[in-house]
Amino acid sequence: MSLRQSTYFALFSLFVILSACSTTQQNIERGNGYTFRVGYPEIRLSAIGVISDDDQPLVSTATELIINSFIFKKIDNERVAEVLLEIRVINKETGALYNYSETIKVTDNEELRASGLDSFQIQKNFQVDPGFYDVYATVTDMNSQKDISIKTETSIPDPDNPTVNLTSILLLTKDNSSFTKGFYPTTTYDVPSKMDSLRFEFQATNNNSNDPLLIRAKLIRFETDTLPAQPMSYNNYTIGSLRYKGIDYREDEEVASTTRRLTQPGSVYIEFTYPNLERGNYRFEVTTENSGGQELYQARDFSIKSRNYPILSNVRELAAPLAYLMNDKEYRALMSIQGDQKLKQAVDRFWLENIGNPNIARQVIQKYYDRVEQANKLFSSYKEGWKTDMGMMYILFGQPWYVDETVRRMSWSYSYDINDFQTNFFFFKPKQRSKYYPFDYFILNRSPEYFNLEYRQKQLWLTGQILTDNL
């Protein structure tokens, strides 16, 4: 029916469409972000509601603790860290509380360093009633007495209810080169590309054996901007360009799809595994229909990033952020070098030829790559945090003295004079964060007038003066 035929019907249809889209978007899992604050312990969390083999509702949690965020103290000639982990699962309707706590000690020794272990997971199951739950995890560093918390949500269907149901989707990863064998849950949106296999697990419930379920699964890839941020003295990104949009959910490529027929009654675990995905932003989605013909939908969004994200570990990862200290010609030449050994020599030569003093060069290199890693944790989105506009500014200028944020704009100040153009920088949001667009994506308001300031800041890095000076 056209709008001319019935305005009321059109408005009602629009409401139905928007309601359906809202429900769909609310069923997309993306994992937690990073809880990074300098000097504080780091924690990551995922939770999923499932039905056990003996029909018991469970909240299954995976808490990841980042070892290099702990404070180590020397005790009996050993460096020891001690943290307290607390997990709380709270029923949103009844307030029922289920909790767990554990004290964990980590000794910094040769065995730990040889293992390459940078984090560890603690997985716990909580037997609960069906319903909707808030899940909190808090880690307290006992040596520094600093703590940080993270929250997620999940729900669990009633196993006695005969209706069709799909649980949220759990993403697990496996790295065959690691000493940790097998699949384990991924707690964030970001998946390091060293993970050579991804597995998606969920439960489908169908208590009517006479009406089999058709489970349709699809893996899709979105068109995404993957380039480092452009210099602050360039023109602003063109509206409508991929640089401006960042990620385009309307442009997707189907990577794989399959359909399974579920004839077994009750709650059944279903798994899908994909090996060696290319870097990019993906969605794994599952659909089925209940007895009334209504579509049920669940999805898990994720991004394949650099090999050891958010850490930089190999020479090509270390070379890439030099985009902010080189001109375009130099950077293209650097990244075209084939072979890790030759590339390492070129990176070392870049730093030493500019700074000269090897001791100062080591300090500058440490400072630069510390900021790159921090930018990954602070500004991670559809692409690596260091590649975003805010990541670029954070790397070059450091943490702002003062941040002012409104609904659509943010300003970073590096002085007490908020009217000084050379020490105050403005960002804007091309899109508001929502269930349809999950990123706090800010674009720098560029200007050719920043050319001299940008050149001066690069020289502070390339001469080593950044150790004692900034703006």
- What are the tens digits of pLDDT across the range 106-143? 998 877 777 777 888 999 999 999 999 999 999 999 99
Do 34-158 and 162-305 fold alike per CATH? yes
Domain ranges of the chain: 34-158, 162-305, 315-467
Q: What is the pLDDT of residue 177?
A: 63
Is residue 207 scored above 80 in pLDDT? no
What are the CA-CA distances from residue 66 to residues 81, 127, 141, 190, 372 (Å)? 12, 27, 12, 15, 17
As a whole number, mean pLDDT of residues 188-211 equals 87
Is residue 303 scored above 50 in pLDDT? yes
Q: What is the pLDDT of residue 23?
A: 43
Is residue 390 scored above 70 in pLDDT? yes
When the pLDDT of each residue in the chain is averaged and rounded to a whole number, the result is 88
Q: What is the pLDDT of residue 10?
A: 35
Please check whether the domain covering 162-305 is classified as CATH 3.90.1150.10.
no
Q: What is the pLDDT of residue 315?
A: 94
In CATH, what is the architecture of 34-158?
A: Sandwich (2.60)
| CA torsion angle 342 229 386 33 (round to 10) | -140
Q: What is the pLDDT of residue 140?
A: 97
Is residue 24 scored above 60 in pLDDT? no
Is residue 89 scored above 60 in pLDDT? yes
Rounded CA separation 10/152 (Å): 37
Residue 372 in 3-state DSSP?
A: helix
Q: What band does 6 get if pLDDT is binned at 50, 70 and 90?
A: very low
CA dihedral sign, ordered 247, 250, 251, 252? positive
Concatenated DSSP letters for 132-178?
EEEEEEEEEETTTTEEEEEEEEEEE--TT--S-EEPPPEEEEE-TTS
Among 109-113, 415-419, 460-464, which range has the highest average pLDDT? 460-464
As a whole number, mean pLDDT of residues 418-436 equals 88
Is residue 32 scored above 70 in pLDDT? yes
Task: Record the tokens describing residue 358, joined without a space.
Answer: 């090897």
Query: Count of CB atoms within 10 A of residue 459's CB?
Result: 13
Q: What band does 178 get if pLDDT is binned at 50, 70 and 90?
A: low
As a whole number, mean pLDDT of residues 218-228 equals 96
Whole-model pTM: value is 0.88
| b (16+ CB within 10 A) / e for 237-260 | beeeebbebbbeeeeeeebeeeeb
| Mean pLDDT lowest among 6-10, 372-376, 387-391, 422-426 | 6-10
DSSP letter assigned to residue 301: E
